[in-house]
Amino acid sequence: MAKPISQKGRAAKKTSRNNSIWIIGGVAAAAVLVLALVLINMNATSKPVAPPSVLNAGRVLGNAAAPVKIDMYSDFQCPICRRAELAIRELAEKYIDTGKVQVIYHNFAFIGPESEWAAQAAECANDQGKFWEYATKLFDNQTGENVGAFSRDNLKRFASEMNLDTAAFNACLDSSKYSALIQQEKSEAQARNIRATPSFYINGRFVEGLLPMGQFTSLLDSLIPQP
């Protein structure tokens, strides 16, 4: 005759069975999480990143034969982009002027209407060979986002202060000549996984945000062939 199980024994057996259920459930949940991470990683790594198109050679700074190429994605209203532009100025003598680094500027005008107007104005200045000078003028005159700093009147005033051909510049800006180009660049940037400014592709290596100067120069040095 089987010995009856005591109440204490039944409780212990029930606890053991519950623990087993929790363990099995935990293992199953972990397996699902691992599978989800694998699928996400596969999707992220399998998505091709298209190279940038050559939209405007006038926005290239430096020697075409430079071993290091920096694709810079920027918005003229972005305060960190101004710091990035200052960093490029600081690096110019050692890296750009010596033919070691080439910078290619890409508009990612996403902050607001004034970003788009400023980008169009810079392209109009580029018609007169003054893209980089006008870009510096824009960054030096930031006062906030969509607060009127880059109104059309101010953009025309900047051109006048730089002694550009204001009749040609104003006609270019008023006609929205480069509106489609700015939208094309934004779409292209998004296709290249650009989500914020400034962002960079340095010899194809993606960098989001502005690196500290020491890290930036170390990265450049590591990519420059040594004699």
What is the CATH number for 98?
3.40.30.10
* Whether residue 88 sits in one domain with residue 114: yes
Q: Would residue 115 count as lying in a domain?
A: yes
Residues 6+ apart with CB under 8 A from 121: 134, 138, 150, 155, 158, 159, 169, 173
Side chain identity at 172, as an amino acid letter?
A: C
* Whether residue 142 sits in one domain with residue 37: no
Q: Could you give the number of structural domains in the chain? A: 2
* Whether residue 144 sits in one domain with residue 62: yes
* Whether residue 15 sits in one domain with residue 66: no
Domain containing residue 34? 10-44
Q: Would residue 68 count as lying in a domain?
A: yes
Mind listing the pLDDT tens digit of every residue in the chain (227 residues)?
A: 434 444 444 444 444 454 444 444 444 444 433 333 333 333 333 344 555 444 445 699 999 999 999 999 999 999 999 999 999 999 999 999 999 999 999 999 999 999 999 999 999 999 999 999 999 999 999 999 999 999 999 999 999 999 999 999 999 999 999 999 999 999 999 999 999 999 999 999 999 999 999 999 999 999 999 88
**The two three-digit tokens of residue 155, written as one number:** 């953009």
